Amino acid sequence: MIQDLMQRIVDILGDTYYGDVRYESSQSTGIGKNKSEESISTGSSNGLCIRVISDNKWHYLGFDTLDKEKILEEVKRLVMRVGNKPSKLWMQDSWELDKEVPVKEKPDSIPVEERMQTIRQIFSQAMTDKRIVNANIGMGNARSETIFMNTEGSNLRQVLPFFKFVMSVTSKQGKKMENDYFVLAKQGGYELLRGINAEDELNKIVKNSIAMLDAKLIKGGRYDIIIDPEISGVVAHESFGHGLEADQVMRDRSYLASLNGKKIISDLVSMHDNGALPKERGSFLFDDEGIKTRDNTLVDKGVLKKFMHDRQSCMLMNSEPTGNARAQDFSRKVFVRMTNTYVSPGEWKFKELIEDTSSGYYLIKNLTGMEDPLGGNMQMVIHSAMQIKDGELSGLFKGVTISGKVLEFLNNVDAVTDDFDIRGGGCGKGKEDYISTGTGGPYMRVRNAVIG
């Protein structure tokens, strides 16, 4: 049993100031189809990450092959080499957990043929309009198990189920091409797909992809804008949240470092990072340092309340761990990372918001966003926009970006709806270290925003 090997490793790590060992294993299936090919792929993997801290420096070992003798020998060598010098590190009482997040309908319980047939039907439907030249339809599921043990005596195990369903379509007219997409990515099983009307969602992206062929280029400038829940989530995560990762603060690399406790944005905006939220893509029971996940209020009515921490950063910043220590996999470093990051809902209705806006743009779907934790600048590429004139939506626009300073942007929020959604996605710390996350929020109106 892997736990036996892990216990032997922990016994050796007992000679260090602190050490832990994390075992990961996963099994996944992906099914997809486009115009030229169908694919079914499966994968399995495991890995072991061993960490030791001495004199505030972390030392890791990573193994994908569970060769007991080799691993124990390498661990002994590591312990001898690094010593047991004290470090500033959060210590806590040991705890135990063994939990598998339940799934209503396991995807792998449905025959692959049946799932492929569903994909084929959706693909055929997507291609019925001649202006659609290609479609990519796919679904994937994974079962991810983590076992964690450390020198505090904790013994934890969690099993998480991931499910993803993706549709994208490309329209073409002469040399002009456009596309649109739909993503469903959460924790759960096949019931998630049964819970949506895939046909309706497909029809929407087909219609919009075709309409985009005649979309006009937006004229850059300052406008009142309404952003959708997807864009609100990316602002919360990408433009704002990365600056609240405590490791960025400790590196002198956060524009938010000196603002804790201060009112920094509109009092209509509250933000959370909540790894304990059920069924979302950024949810888990304990982080990669064995800390229980929780709901962290980052901003309460415009006041900055908290940074996100790991065991080391919280000690250096006189705080507590927040359950945000995460690694891409056994081979990568544990960093302070976000989980499910979102703006809390308000009281407006989306319809009221449009009717209340005399002039501006309604921005729809986020394509990309990049963090700038030191500068606090935003760069987001948006899929499309509609013009708002006298409380009504009209016209479709492309080539839309949001730029400017994120604090100014969020300070100019003057209305927040009670419509609220969280979308599953992924996040890199810079350009690597990919993890699964959730981002979301309500519709928000932002006055005088810079769009291009």
Partner 1 sequence: MKQEIIDQTKKLAKDYDIYLQSTEINEVHLEKNRVNFANKVFDSGYGIRILKGGIGFSASNIKSDELIKKTILNAIKSAEMTEKVKFEFPKQGKYPEVEVVGRRIKNKGEQAVQEYAEQLLNEMSKDVLLSFGKVRSYDSFTNIINSEGLDVQKEDTNFMVELSLIVKKNNVRMEFWPHEYRRRMQDLPMERIKKWIQIANDQTIAKGPKTEQTTVVFSPEVVLDGLGTVLGSHATGSAKVNDVSRLAVGEKVATDELTIISDGLYPFGLGTSGFDDEGVAERKIPIIEKGVFKGFVYDQFYALKDNTKSTGNGLKQSDVFFMFDGKYGMEPGNQISNFYVKPGDASYEEMIEDIDHGILVEQFSWMDPDAITGKFSSEIRAGYYIKDGEIAEPIKGGLVIGNIFDMIQKIESISDKSEITSASNVLAGVCPYISFRDVQIAGK
Instruction: State the residues that interact with partner 1 by CB under 8 A.
Output: 34-47, 56-65, 112-113, 116, 133-134, 170, 172, 175-179, 220, 247, 250-253, 330-333, 367-368, 370, 372, 374-375, 377, 379, 381, 398-401, 403, 426, 428, 430-432, 434, 452
Determine the Cα–Cα distance for residues 274 and 97; give it in Å rounded to an integer: 19
CB of 410 to partner 1, least distance (A): 18
Closest CB 65 distance from partner 1, rounded Å: 6
Nearer to partner 1, 46 or 297 (CB): 46
Q: Which is nearer to partner 1, 170 or 322 (CB)?
A: 170
Q: Which is nearer to partner 1, 272 or 309 (CB)?
A: 309
User: What's the rounded Cα separation, in Å, for the pair 2 and 112?
Assistant: 30
In the complex with partner 1, the residue whose CB is nearer, 237 or 272, is 237
State in angstroms the smallest separation of the CB of 217 from partner 1.
9
Question: Measured between alpha carbons, how far is 49 from 19 in angstroms, rounded to an integer?
Answer: 11
Looking at the Cβ atoms of 137 and 353, the one nearer to partner 1 is: 137
Q: Which is nearer to partner 1, 250 or 276 (CB)?
A: 250
Shortest spacing between CB 112 and partner 1, in angstroms? 5
Q: How far is the CB of 107 from partner 1 (least distance, A)?
A: 15
158 vs 254 by CB, closer to partner 1? 254
Q: How far is the CB of 443 from partner 1 (least distance, A)?
A: 23
Instruction: Quote the least distance from Cβ 416 to partner 1, whole Å.
Output: 26
Q: Which is nearer to partner 1, 54 or 357 (CB)?
A: 54
Contact between 270 and 410 under an 8 Å Cβ cutoff? The reply is no
Nearest distance from residue 47's CB to partner 1, in Å?
7
